[in-house]
Amino acid sequence: MRVPRASVLLLTSFLCICAGAAAAQSLLPHRAVYDLALAEADEEAQIEALSGRWVFEFSGSACEGYTLKSRIVMRFEMTEGSRLVDQRVTSFEDAAGETFRFVTKSLIDQELDSEVKGTARREGSGTVVEYEQPEKTERSFAPVLFPTGQLRELLEKAEAGERFYESAIFDGTEFTDDAVTVSVVVGRPKPVDEDDAEREALGRLAGDTFLPVTAAYFDGEAADGEEVSEYNVSFKLHESGIQRDMMIRYADYSMTAKLADLALFEPGEGCARESGN
């Protein structure tokens, strides 16, 4: 039974990005609340129902770095009884996207199931991850993008008209020996429909356009000689960094995450001071 990554995509991941002399893409610090529900499940999954809530909070700026906090609480009604899953993620990424500190705790039925903690750095032609939990060890692998860089790349490629690409990413949610490869398909901008179920929660952002995105995540393992995605996510991405209307598909079940509430914050004070505002 899998739970979604903190930065689907983010995913992550969700920020105020400035690109030096290039045009800045302003992404809003915010807190988004999603209602979770079961979409479908195979008989082998033994999941009869699923309910829960996902609270995602991003703060910071391109001047001071980015802090991400995420908590997902889900109750699975299984054929053998109920199970409560609680995943808590906190991370900080520096403004340059070179250093990434992360802590992920996963609890099942209020008992700690796993903890992943450490620091990742982009160094030269590779990435070095120094884990503190679940054990003190170091891993080295090819260059990756952290959550901020992942979102920035997605928006830049969409703006350039590139609709399909692959990237290597690391988000600190799992104890791993290697990066995850994500294949991304980006559709053309669309307006928010008048009858969109999430329109009210969007508030003033309801007048913006969004990009339909599908991201498939691969861990490098092959099945029957062919590599298949570990899971994939379809969602609507606003240019402000807000993600919504998610469909998260695993091998044996899928779930939805619908935007229920959205609070927008002011940009980081550091950027405001430097810009003279």
Average model confidence (pLDDT) for the chain? 83
DSSP code at position 205 = G
If one compares 241 and 207, the residue with the highest pLDDT of the two is: 207
If one compares 25 and 14, the residue with the highest pLDDT of the two is: 25
Q: ω into residue 134 within 30 of 0, thus cis?
A: yes
If one compares 213 and 20, the residue with the highest pLDDT of the two is: 213
Q: Is residue 233 predicted with pLDDT exceeding 90?
A: yes
Q: Are the C-beta atoms of residues 199 and 192 closer than 8 Å to each other? A: yes
If one compares 211 and 275, the residue with the highest pLDDT of the two is: 211
Q: Are the C-beta atoms of residues 231 and 249 closer than 8 Å to each other? A: yes
Give the percent of the chain with pLDDT over 70. 83
CA distance 117 to 41: 32
Predicted local distance difference test score (pLDDT) of residue 234 = 95
103-107, 133-137, 226-230, 250-254: least confidently modelled range: 226-230
- Cβ of 22: how many Cβ atoms within 10 Å? 8
CA-wise closest residue to 98 among 59, 124, 137, 70: 124
Q: Which stretches of 187-275 are assigned E, i.e. beta strand?
A: 190-191, 209-218, 222-223, 226-227, 231-238, 243-249, 253-264
User: What sign results for the dihedral spanned by CA atoms 20, 143, 270, 244?
Assistant: positive
Span 221-237, mean pLDDT?
74
Predicted local distance difference test score (pLDDT) of residue 26 = 58
Span 91-102, mean pLDDT?
91
Q: To 5 degrees, how large is the angle CA 96–CA 24–CA 244? A: 90
Write the single-letter amino acid at 29: P
Range with the largest mean pLDDT of 111-125, 139-153, 216-230 = 111-125
CA distance 233 to 104: 20
Predicted local distance difference test score (pLDDT) of residue 116 = 95
Q: pLDDT band at 191, cuts 50/70/90?
A: very high
Span 147-166, mean pLDDT?
86
Q: Which two tokens stand for residue 202?
A: 């969007």
93-102, 127-136, 265-274: least confidently modelled range: 265-274
Task: Give domain limits for the chain.
Answer: 30-274
28-32, 200-204, 216-220: least confidently modelled range: 216-220
Instruction: HSE, CB side, 13 Å, CA atoms: give it for residue 218.
Output: 14
Span 118-127, mean pLDDT?
91
- Cβ of 270: how many Cβ atoms within 10 Å? 15
Q: Please give the model's pTM, rounded to 2 decimal places.
A: 0.85
Q: What is the DSSP string of 23-62?
A: PPB----EEEEEEEEEEEE-GGGTEEEEEEEEEEEEEEET
Predicted local distance difference test score (pLDDT) of residue 266 = 74
Span 142-155, mean pLDDT?
84
CA-wise closest residue to 68 among 93, 96, 32, 46: 93
User: What sign results for the dihedral spanned by CA atoms 56, 62, 64, 65?
Assistant: positive
Q: Is residue 223 predicted with pLDDT exceeding 50?
A: no
